[in-house]
A = this chain, B = another copy of it.
Amino acid sequence: MMNIAVAQSGGPTCAINASLVGVFRESLKVAEIDAIFGSINGIEGVIQNHLVDLKSIILTNDDIELLRQTPSTVLGSCRYKLPDSSEDEEVYRKIADTLVQRNIGAFIYIGGNDSMDTVNKLSEYFRSENLDIKVIGIPKTIDNDLCITDHTPGFGSAAKYVAVTMNEITRDSIVYSIPSVTIVEIMGRHAGWLTASSAVLHAMGETAPHLVYVPEVKFSIDSFLSDVRQEMAKHKAVIIAVSEGIEVPEGVQSGVVDNFGHKYLSGIGKYLEDIVRSEIGCKVRSIELNVMQRCSSHLGSRTDIDEAEAIGSAGVRCALEGHTGKVMVFRRVENVPYTVKIETANACEIANREKFLPKDFINSAGNNINNSALDYFLPLIQGEPHLITENGIPKHFAIHEYVLK
């Protein structure tokens, strides 16, 4: 008999709790797993020995269903960067102490590429110390920028939010008789996956978004203004999708840097709005989709949530098969009918790397997405969640009420 531990890390998505459900359900099925521990605030909870017994918290099938439809991370999150063990072995010893003391034979870490760095470092440390603790990573990020995996859990729901909302914003923008420009700012630090996903509207015959700017293409204010003028000649209401991560002259980025050295970006939409107003002089507004694009689980993709649960389950099986230092990944077998297989990759091949939009996804002018790329995005946003509601509002699982104080 052994115990298992699971933790959640990084920025919220709609699918992280579904992966937790996958880990939980699969662990329940396995005879050799006894307790299922949840670590509070990611790896910080393991360092501080702050774990909770999930079987005493997730009690019923209703709890599981609620957990699946609850956005963000019920176990809390962290942005903790594990130092190299050569720099600070103390923290590794604390982690090992917690896990050994609680007879934890497998640690499943749900997170982005920074968390996969933790998976890699921990698994190497345990190997070097001859500790039999398997460490497996479950990917998640709305940014979809992890290497090797076809896509990441959480991305499909965010892409669905972006596409549906972009369509509604288009209806909202087109009502007046005067020409207008609407700029929608979408998350994505360095990779334009989420911004590009707004182009799925083209598969429905929509002309919007008329312009799409992603960080993979060098941004030029002059080209931007020329693009906008060209589109204004064709459409009364021009709708523009722009990634928060496009590079514009300095002074726009707020310059605040998080623990991983990521710059916190904001205000690109507002910046471009001001440029359009001063240079073109038409009605213009900017809209930041903000955290809604990562937490609007009422609009989740059923495909995404189901896959997130499945990849969580697969992580448990992978650990039980004796693997460590692995990340579970999706390999797309076919677009029609959409089929994916869950496989494994080495955490060291995913950690601290980023995957960018393929060049052939972007049109030759560098200001929109090719229709040929839509086959990639469309399967990921299919299906609606079956929501449990109360007072007309989707209910959430409230583990945090007594755990995260």
Contact = CB atoms under 8 A, between A and B. Distances in A.
A390 B204 contact: yes
Nearest to A48: B177
Given A176-B77, A291-B172, A164 B404 contact: no
A301 interface: yes
Nearest to A294: B172
B204 A395 contact: yes
Interface stretch (A222-230, A362-370, A381-389): A381-389
Interface residues of A, number: 61
B165 A72 contact: no
A156 to B, nearest CB: 9
A296 B168 contact: yes
B393 A200 contact: yes
Contacts of A391: 200, 203-204, 378, 381-382
Interface string A270-298: 00000000000000000110111011111
Given A76-B176, A291-B287, A393-B164, A171 B12 contact: yes
A76 B165 CA distance: 19
Interface in A203-234: 203-205
A177 B78 contact: yes
B405 A292 contact: no
A79 interface: yes
B292 A171 contact: no
A392 B404 contact: no
Contacts of A287: 290-292
Q: Which of A44, A168, A205 has the most CB of B within 10 A?
A: A168
Contacts of A204: 390-391, 393, 395
A105 B295 CA distance: 50
A204 B394 CA distance: 10
A167 B384 CA distance: 19
Contact of A400 (B168, B174, B387, B400): B174
Contacts of A205: 398
Interface string A48-84: 0000000000000000000000111100111100000
B404 A76 contact: no
A396 B175 contact: no
B70 A171 contact: yes
B164 A298 contact: yes
B405 A171 contact: no
Interface in A151-177: 160, 163-165, 167-169, 171-177
Interface string A86-109: 000000000000000000000000
A16 to B, nearest CB: 9
A165 B296 contact: yes
Nearest to A40: B177
A187 interface: no
B393 A72 contact: no
Contacts of A381: 391-393
